[in-house]
Amino acid sequence: MANHEIIKVENLWYTYLNGYTALKGINIEINSKEFIAVVGANGSGKTTLIKHFNGLLKPTKGRVTVYGMDTRTTSVAELSRYVGVVFQNPLNQFFEETVEDEVAFALKNFKGNVDSEEIARILRELGIEHLRRKSPFEASLGEQKRITLASVLVYEPDFIVLDEPTVGLDYKSKMRLLKILTELYGRGKIILVVSHDIEFLAKAPLTRIIILNNGNLVFDGFPREAFYNLPLLYSSRLVPPQIPDLIIRLNLEKHFKPLNDEEAYEIVKSLVKEALVDVRKRY
Amino acid sequence: MFANDISYAFLYDRKDTFLYKLDPRIKLFYVVIATLAVFFARDPIVAATILLLQVIVASLGGLLRKIASLVKGLIPFLLIIMVFNTILVYLTSFMIDFDALTYTFYMMIVRIFTALVAFTILMSTTSPQEIMQALVKMKISYVYAYPLVITFRFIPIIFTEMKNIYDAQRSRGLELEKGNIIEKSRKLIPIIIPSIVCALFRAKDLAEAMESRSFGALPKRTFYKQLRIKKLDILFLASTSLAEIACFILASLPFLGF
Amino acid sequence: MTYENNEDPIIKLENLTYFYPNTETPAIENVNLTIYKGEFIVIAGPSGGGKSTLCRVLNGIIPHFYGGELKGKAFVNGVDVKNSTISELSRYVGLVFQNPVNQIVNLTVEEEIAFGLENMMFQPEVIEERISWVLEVLNIEHLRNRPTYALSGGELQKVALASILALKPEILVLDETTANMDPYSAREFLELLKKIWNETGVTVILVEHRLSEALQHANRLILFNRTVVADGIPREILKSDLLEDMGIEVPPVARLSKKIGVDNLPLNVEEAVEVLKEWLIMK
């Protein structure tokens, strides 16, 4: 697969049947391995946007190209081979008797045959191998979300999209998910997360953040810039992560821009070290 | 699609014409009386007049667009019924009495439309809440009547949910368009099962939320908005009923040449 | 406004253990909890730890709706939960659930707010007063005649809250009510709760994952995992490692302050600013 122009969104407009225009002239280019966050208030168009990546929605105006394929003329099934979309509610997709069968479903549809070894491997990676023969309905929410992720990973798309993956999860489960996504990104997959969980995103190795506000794309760039731009965040009905909020109030943002408490602590440590070195130098 | 046209006809939109102000019980009686009247009628002109009356009432209430939508939606069904009927008659008696057939079809169409127009008048000017209240006033326990409201409230939600389910499964390679009848039916399972599961969880949540607000705890309940039968209601029901009776009387008077 | 530490607690749970029907492990075990009138309590814990079960005992849904076996003692407002009915307990306890869509039963907001009052046979004049009051307190007068399908996520939850609040319960229990909300709406919702607590003196029990937003409002924090693991002043509990051990989110500013070695842990960004300024000066 050529690595340029993986996704190209050109002047995308989308209006629903009831007349509501959810996307107003969006332009995005994704050219290489990235870890992207799409954020915005509820109703800003985030979910509408990602449904264009695998052809579930076709543009009202404009064009979306995925790995060179125009979504207007390519089927959802075809596009979904390359773009794996993990939706928010696991109960919207579970229907098999065992987790193994559930995860195999997409594999059956895309590759025809089912490799149980492959499935077992993916379940192990996600820490849910013990659920292999159990019903997906018996799993906890965190486990269910990992089952839906496994269902997509199993047929190895290069581009993985997750719609609000952390809603309803406790902190431990969120960190586990973050670790999994970071590993996948490290292996060369493109990860796109739609989320309004700002503290989760503040800990993720994001290469890029896209902010939608009422159907308009208002920001596309580095996370540090976005998280430290309070007017931008508030006008998009977002809340800054606590650490940037703190740094700004302490008037220190010109000197450092940590996104989360770990980065902030590193900065404090090095400051203290410097101060100690200074003190030692003097005495 | 035709379902869209018909459902638009029955859809409740809030407005302020006089039909909306009528007590729902009055409207219920109105529908029953109009339907009975037209089914008892033998004379084609009487039947037509009764139908005309419905249309007049509907137009007074600003519902003509809905009536047009209803007609549009029903035409194909009526055509199908008429064609089948004709074939059946031919097959059973090997001859077609055109006069009798015309009369039968005519009366059938007029009767169906009368009932449906009256029903449209009821459904599109009365909210499910009002209908539920009317049923309770007519001695039906509110525990059985309330689900009417709940169903209407959740219809759009259920549709959205099924759409989400369909999207999720399509994203996993489900292609409903492909395959023969047997394969296509099997492919519906990934749609049906999640729909049922989600509906069950929804029902459980709903039951908890309703119990938490004492639903069903007491045999009766009060209503914040009271139903009241006013002069307008009596006037409406009386005038329409009298008009329908008048049709019958006039029809039986010999000197009017019927 | 502070709470009164009366002699008579408003909720008293003694050695409470509950088994869902056909289960062998209890969902909650040996719970001992005393709650006084007017407190603002946050309950936090890992998913699956029985917090929702605990909530449902408070208004009788457990055991009366679910069946199962409830052992030990549970008294709410002086009433024995086991020997009472959901209907009676609902006069004192208002329970708001996580998903507002499945709580709202009527077609307009006004009808929804009136719902509980009508079921309890309140007179129309009283219902009118309550509706007006609740719409004003929650700042949603403009939603009075809105159809319920035309409400945003945040508005839905406010209406669900309004419907419960109209019953003027002594105790408000909220089971992860901000889970599905975007951070801006969640913040707004919690501030509204604080305002209601201030104005009416209602006892608030909040089950939350979003400690970054919720903790600053509480006078008491309970860590819960099948049983009470910790119970006390939020700042004190934060000092220990309990939250980290249980996989519960620690507000980033508190986590940073702890690592740095600050004594007085901040619960929100404003406090963090003060605390860190002092610390910086000291250094």
Query: Do the Cβ atoms of C121 and B208 come within 8 Å?
Result: no
Query: Do the Cβ atoms of C252 and A141 come within 8 Å?
Result: no
Higher local confidence (pLDDT), B256 or B251: B251
Query: Do the Cβ atoms of A93 and B172 come within 8 Å?
Result: yes
Statement to judge: residues C136 and C10 lie in one domain = no
Nearest chain B residue (CA) to A102: B190
Statement to judge: residues C152 and C50 lie in one domain = no
Q: Are strands C11-19 and C69-76 parallel, antiparallel or unpaired?
A: antiparallel
Nearest chain A residue (CA) to C46: A170
Supply the pTM of this predicted model. Answer: 0.89
How far does Cα C199 stand from its chain's mean position? 17
**A4: pLDDT confidence band, cut at 50, 70 and 90?**
low
Average per-residue pLDDT for chain B: 86
- Within an 8 Å CB–CB cutoff, is residue B213 touching chain C? yes
**Mean pLDDT, to the nearest integer, of C78-88?**
94
| Closest CA–CA distance from residue C76 to any residue of chain A (Å) | 29
Nearest chain C residue (CA) to A195: C182
**A91: pLDDT confidence band, cut at 50, 70 and 90?**
very high
All residues of chain C having their beta carbon less than 8 Å from the beta carbon of residue B226 are 124
> N- to C-terminal Cα distance for chain B?
41
**Mean pLDDT, to the nearest integer, of C1-12?**
68
All residues of chain C having their beta carbon less than 8 Å from the beta carbon of residue A175 are 247
How far does Cα B202 stand from its chain's mean position? 26
Nearest to A170 by CA among C17, C229, C244, C230: C244
Query: Do the Cβ atoms of C184 and A237 come within 8 Å?
Result: yes
**B2: pLDDT confidence band, cut at 50, 70 and 90?**
low
**B258: pLDDT confidence band, cut at 50, 70 and 90?**
very low
pLDDT score of C1: 41
Residue A15 has pLDDT above 60, yes or no: yes
Q: From the list C47, C187, C269, which residue is nearest A246 (CB)?
A: C269
pLDDT score of A269: 86
* pLDDT tens digits along B127-177: 899 999 999 999 999 999 999 999 999 998 999 999 999 999 999 999 988
Question: Residue C137: which domain range?
Answer: 105-168
Q: Are strands C228-232 and C220-224 parallel, antiparallel or unpaired?
A: antiparallel
- Within an 8 Å CB–CB cutoff, is residue A141 touching chain B? no
Statement to judge: residues C69 and C159 lie in one domain = no
Statement to judge: residues C121 and C198 lie in one domain = no
| Closest CA–CA distance from residue C6 to any residue of chain A (Å) | 34
| Closest CA–CA distance from residue A225 to any residue of chain C (Å) | 19
Q: Are strands A190-194 and A208-213 parallel, antiparallel or unpaired?
A: unpaired
pLDDT score of A1: 46
The residues facing C172 across adjacent strands are C94, C204
For chain B, give every domain's residue range. Answer: 1-126+228-258, 128-227
All residues of chain B having their beta carbon less than 8 Å from the beta carbon of residue C110 are 224
- Cα separation, A243 vs C253, in Å, equals 6
Statement to judge: residues C6 and C140 lie in one domain = no
- Cα separation, A112 vs A106, in Å, equals 9
Nearest chain B residue (CA) to A81: B173
Statement to judge: residues C46 and C143 lie in one domain = no
Query: Do the Cβ atoms of B170 and A137 come within 8 Å?
Result: no
- Cα separation, B55 vs B44, in Å, equals 17
pLDDT score of C28: 96
All residues of chain A having their beta carbon less than 8 Å from the beta carbon of residue C214 are none
Residue C279 resides in a domain: no
Last residue of a domain, one of C235, C259, C275: C235
**Mean pLDDT, to the nearest integer, of B9-28?**
80
| Chain C residues with CB within 8 Å of chain A CB | 46-48, 98, 152-154, 176, 179-185, 187, 209, 212, 247-249, 251-253, 255-256, 259-260, 268-270, 272-273, 276-277, 283
Peptide bond into B24 cis (omega under 30): no
Residue C173 resides in a domain: yes
Query: Do the Cβ atoms of C184 and A167 come within 8 Å?
Result: no
pLDDT score of A53: 96
All residues of chain A having their beta carbon less than 8 Å from the beta carbon of residue B166 are none
Nearest to A84 by CA among A12, A142, A165, A13: A165
Q: From the list C101, C124, C149, which residue is nearest B222 (CB)?
A: C124
All residues of chain C having their beta carbon less than 8 Å from the beta carbon of residue A275 are 283
Q: How many residues comprise chain C?
A: 283
With DSSP H G I counted as helix, E B as strand and the rest as coil, what are the percentages for chain C, rounded to 5? 45, 20, 35
- Within an 8 Å CB–CB cutoff, is residue B11 touching chain C? no
**Do B61 and B22 contact (CB within 8 A), yes or no?**
no
* B residues 66-105 closer than 8 Å to C (CB): none
Query: Do the Cβ atoms of C131 and B156 come within 8 Å?
Result: no
Statement to judge: residues C70 and C140 lie in one domain = no
- Within an 8 Å CB–CB cutoff, is residue B228 touching chain C? no
Query: Do the Cβ atoms of B171 and A109 come within 8 Å?
Result: no
Least-confidence region, from A194-203, B35-44, C211-220: B35-44
Total structural domains within chain C = 2
Residue recorded with tokens 């602590």? A265
Nearest to B187 by CA among A109, A114, A144, A111: A109
**B10: pLDDT confidence band, cut at 50, 70 and 90?**
low
Residue B252 has pLDDT above 80, yes or no: no
**Do A86 and A150 contact (CB within 8 A), yes or no?**
no
Average per-residue pLDDT for chain C: 93
Least-confidence region, from B17-31, B94-108, C58-72: B94-108
Query: Do the Cβ atoms of C253 and A238 come within 8 Å?
Result: no
Spatial CB neighbours of A38, under 8 Å, sequence gap ≥ 6: A46, A49, A50, A192, A193, A194, A195, A209, A210, A212
Q: What percent of chain C has pLDDT over 90?
A: 86
All residues of chain B having their beta carbon less than 8 Å from the beta carbon of residue A106 are 172-173
Q: What percent of chain A has pLDDT over 90?
A: 77
Helix (H) or strand (E) holding C34: strand C28-35
Helix (H) or strand (E) holding C69: strand C69-76
pLDDT score of C2: 47
Statement to judge: residues C78 and C147 lie in one domain = no
- Cα separation, B164 vs C206, in Å, equals 31
- Which residue of A145, A232, A239 is the best one to mutate when testing the C interface, meaning the one whose CB has the most C CBs within 10 A? A239
Residue C125 resides in a domain: yes
| Closest CA–CA distance from residue C83 to any residue of chain A (Å) | 32
The dihedral sign for the CA sequence A204, A209, A211, A216: negative
Residue A115 has pLDDT above 90, yes or no: no
Statement to judge: residues C121 and C224 lie in one domain = no
Statement to judge: residues C150 and C202 lie in one domain = no
Query: Do the Cβ atoms of C123 and B222 come within 8 Å?
Result: yes
* pLDDT tens digits along A168-178: 898 999 999 99
Helix (H) or strand (E) holding C231: strand C228-232
- Cα separation, C238 vs A11, in Å, equals 49
DSSP SS3 for C156: helix
**B70: pLDDT confidence band, cut at 50, 70 and 90?**
confident
All residues of chain A having their beta carbon less than 8 Å from the beta carbon of residue C98 are 168
Q: From the list B152, B213, B224, which residue is nearest C163 (CB)?
A: B213
Spatial CB neighbours of C92, under 8 Å, sequence gap ≥ 6: C76, C77, C79, C169, C170, C171
| Closest CA–CA distance from residue B129 to any residue of chain A (Å) | 25
All residues of chain B having their beta carbon less than 8 Å from the beta carbon of residue C122 are 222
Statement to judge: residues C143 and C34 lie in one domain = no
- Within an 8 Å CB–CB cutoff, is residue C104 touching chain B? yes
The pair phi, psi for residue B249, each rounded to 5°, is -65, -50
| Closest CA–CA distance from residue C245 to any residue of chain A (Å) | 10
Q: From the list C97, C114, C149, which residue is nearest B224 (CB)?
A: C114
Residue B125 has pLDDT above 90, yes or no: no
Q: Which chains touch C (3 or more CB pairs under 8 A)?
A: A, B
Query: Do the Cβ atoms of A261 and C212 come within 8 Å?
Result: no
Residue B90 has pLDDT above 70, yes or no: yes
- Which residue of A18, A20, A38, A42 is the best one to mutate when testing the C interface, meaning the one whose CB has the most C CBs within 10 A? A42
Q: What is the CATH number of the domain that holds C228?
A: 3.40.50.300
Q: What percent of chain C has pLDDT over 70?
A: 97
**B9: pLDDT confidence band, cut at 50, 70 and 90?**
low
Higher local confidence (pLDDT), B96 or B158: B158
DSSP string, A153-216: HTT--SEEEEESTTTT--HHHHHHHHHHHHHHHHTT-EEEEE---HHHHHHS--SEEEEEETTE
**Do A95 and A44 contact (CB within 8 A), yes or no?**
no
What type of residue is A240? P
**C264: pLDDT confidence band, cut at 50, 70 and 90?**
confident
Residue C268 resides in a domain: no
- Within an 8 Å CB–CB cutoff, is residue C171 touching chain B? no
Please list, residue by residue across C201-231, b when 16 or more beta carbons sit within 10 angstroms of its beta carbon and e when fewer do.
ebbbbbbbbbbbbbbbbbebbbbbbbbbbbb
**Mean pLDDT, to the nearest integer, of A249-263?**
90
Q: From the list A169, A239, A260, which residue is nearest C184 (CB)?
A: A239
Query: Do the Cβ atoms of A171 and C47 come within 8 Å?
Result: no
Q: Find the largest Cα–Cα distance for chain C.
A: 65
